[in-house]
Amino acid sequence: MEKSYTVSRYILDRLHQAGVGHLFGVPGDYVLDFLDEVLASPIRWVGTCNELNAGYAADGYARMNGLGGAVVTYGVGGLSIVNAVAGAYAEQVPLIVVSGAPPARRREAGALVHHLVANYQLQLEVFRKITVAAALLTDPETAPAEIDRVVAQCVARKLPGYLELPADIARAPCRRPASDLVPPVAATDPAVLAECVAEAAKRFDGAAHPAALIGVELARQRLGPDALRLVETVEIPFATMLSSKSLLPEFHPQFVGIYQGGWSRESVRRQVEESDCLLSLGVWMTDLDTGLFSVNFDESRVVSAGGGRVRIGPRVYDGVQLGDFVRALASALRPRSYLESHPAPGRTLKPVFAPRPACGLTAPRLYECLDGFLDDDMVLLAEPGDAFCAAPEFMIEEAENFIVQTYYAAIGYCTPAALGVGLARPGKRPVVLTGDGALQMTVQELSTLIRQRCPAIVVVINNDGYLVERELHEDGAYNDIQMWRYSELPRVFDCAGDASIGVRATTEEELAAALDGARRNKDKFHLIEAWLPNRDCSAGLRQLGHAFRQQKK
């Protein structure tokens, strides 16, 4: 075995082959040997202010790039990134965490070393519960197979993976990969596929108003182009959900809008719920995607596919992968158009925002202005809070231009995730729409965005605290937070003062000017504080608050 080829190199070669070009994280003594090998590799090291943010950055990176990675030290680092990995597990985002660990000889002796919690199994056990595959690399002989197992599962199943690397194994010699890693592909039973496609096509052909509901699993499996081909073959109206927003283009003539159960616009709700053959593709029926479960379908009219099975009325067909079903159905259906009898009322143009002179900012006007501002080279990240409630109304044309955690819904996700987005796609500009409360969670990563010269635009909705919580329940002092001068944050984080701009917008004119400045100044990071201390909010948040309160009655 070559002395110079090590377990660390093996990990890095596999990550690089799988498309990882950047690793996010924080050093610590147990992981320094590994980090030396990172610096010597083609993968770029991106230090973050803390490990939670490294995890969110890796998640944003993975959503754009197919796989992300983070590096942490044991205990203090490993347990700090857990929330981000749990979010990636819930939302089905593939990222790999490499955690340094105490040397194997200390582990064997059960020594009381720094960063240990109770015992040497604890961290591994935590990660086993929130990853698709986890490995403890104590043996350089078996390490290659273990690393391959974790990376392959992570890529194939689109879920996080975990590698625990004891400090004395990082530099241990190991064999090089013999060949490229080929992740396993979940197989579809061809006979079952043929049967369910025939049944779906029969129902479809007999329907007068077929429609499609485009779900988040299509996004995670990168099946947008296949889904588009299917809906275009038969020209049916289609709706997306908040979690799958923009997977299919929103200026498409067949696009009807975002379906959110009873919270949907009436025209969208009717197209979906009154369809006599609804193709529900990769939909996760989560509370925040379904208007708190206010969906009203006649299940007997739904053909639903996802999670490795197809369901048509009462019949379930197991062992059918979503992509195989979508492609086979597109080939089986006769090209035709259902649009004439059911025209889709899509919007065709972005609104042109004309600021009214000396007019104080309101929430609806903020969102109108932003909607008009976004273009195809920008990726919008919308944070839980009013941003999340306003997001369905934005028109976004390209599949990868919208990121949201509709299911796990952690506040503080978007700012660090923008770092991952910016590094994965230098040609795209991240636009973060975040709340004052959310920003306070992970504000340090503004520093890394500036340090990495990422020209992100962070719009902070300063509405004086946790507005969404105020709407969901009787207000309480727990929803108050310290008022910051948000627009001055770039001055704090940018010592040289040449890479960033901070602005507070209190009027429509100031907002329009701030966004215009950000558009023209393409190379700089911008923070725009949208001043809404009177707690104004979107119609979407009012609706959410109302529904929550009704539900409790």
Ligand X SMILES: Cc1ncc(C[n+]2csc(CCOP(=O)(O)OP(=O)(O)O)c2C)c(N)n1
Interface contacts to ligand X, rule CB under 6 A: 384-386, 409-412, 435-438, 461, 463, 466-469
Stretch of residues binding Mg ion (CB under 5 A), selected from 112-120, 234-242, 274-282, 429-437: 429-437
Shortest spacing between CB 126 and ligand X, in angstroms: 18
Stretch of residues binding Mg ion (CB under 5 A), selected from 149-157, 258-266, 427-435, 500-508: 427-435
Q: CA nearest 538: which of 418, 385, 433?
A: 385
Shortest spacing between CB 24 and Mg ion, in angstroms: 27
List all residues 6 or more positions away from 495 whose beta carbon is below 8 Å from its beta carbon. Answer: none
What pairing do the DSSP bridges indicate for beta strands 302-306 and 309-312?
A: antiparallel
Stretch of residues binding Mg ion (CB under 5 A), selected from 117-125, 324-332, 355-363, 436-444: 436-444
Shortest spacing between CB 450 and ligand X, in angstroms: 21
Taking residues 465 to 494 in sequence order and writing x for each that binds Mg ion by CB under 5 A, - otherwise, the string is --x---------------------------
Counting every residue, how long is the chain?
A: 553
Supply the DSSP symbol for 502.
Answer: E
At 315, is the secondary structure helix, strand, or coil? strand
Give the distance between the most distant pair of CA atoms in the chain.
Answer: 75
- b/e map of 143-152 (b: 16 or more CB within 10 Å)? bbebbbebbb
390 in contact with Mg ion (CB under 5 A) = no
Using CB under 5 A, which of 291, 323, 435, 545 touches Mg ion? Answer: 435
Shortest spacing between CB 86 and Mg ion, in angstroms: 24
At 477, is the secondary structure helix, strand, or coil? helix
Q: CA nearest 260: which of 400, 406, 433?
A: 406
Shortest spacing between CB 434 and Mg ion, in angstroms: 9
**Helices (DSSP H) in 100-168: which residue ranges?**
104-109, 122-129, 143-157
CA angle at 425 for the pair 422 and 427, rounded to the nearest 5°: 100
Shortest spacing between CB 230 and ligand X, in angstroms: 35
Q: Binding to Mg ion (CB under 5 A): which residues in 214-253? A: none
Shortest spacing between CB 158 and ligand X, in angstroms: 23
Report the alpha-carbon distance of residue 190 to residue 506 in Å, rounded: 60
Residue 135 binds which one of ligand X, Mg ion, none, with CB within 5 to 8 A depending on kind? none
Stretch of residues binding Mg ion (CB under 5 A), selected from 71-79, 82-90, 331-339, 460-468: 460-468
Beta bridge partners of 435: 461
Residue 468 binds which one of ligand X, Mg ion, none, with CB within 5 to 8 A depending on kind? ligand X
Question: Can you read off the two tokens belonging to residue 409?
Answer: 């819904």
Helix 51-65 and helix 414-424: axis angle, to 10°? 50
**Closer to ligand X by Cβ: residue 194 or 483:** 483
Shortest spacing between CB 539 and ligand X, in angstroms: 14
| The one-letter amino acid at 487 | S
Q: Considering Cα of 68, then 71, then 75, then 81, what sign does the dihedral take?
A: negative
| The one-letter amino acid at 244 | S
Residue 462 binds which one of ligand X, Mg ion, none, with CB within 5 to 8 A depending on kind? none
463 in contact with Mg ion (CB under 5 A) = yes
Shortest spacing between CB 383 and ligand X, in angstroms: 6
**Closer to Mg ion by Cβ: residue 240 or 463:** 463
Residue 411 binds which one of ligand X, Mg ion, none, with CB within 5 to 8 A depending on kind? ligand X
536 in contact with Mg ion (CB under 5 A) = no
**Closer to ligand X by Cβ: residue 5 or 407:** 407
**What residue is closest to ligand X based on CB?**
435
- CA distances 136 to 26, 112, 148, 368, Å, are 20, 19, 13, 51
**Closer to ligand X by Cβ: residue 60 or 384:** 384
Binding residues for Mg ion (CB under 5 A)? 435-437, 463, 467
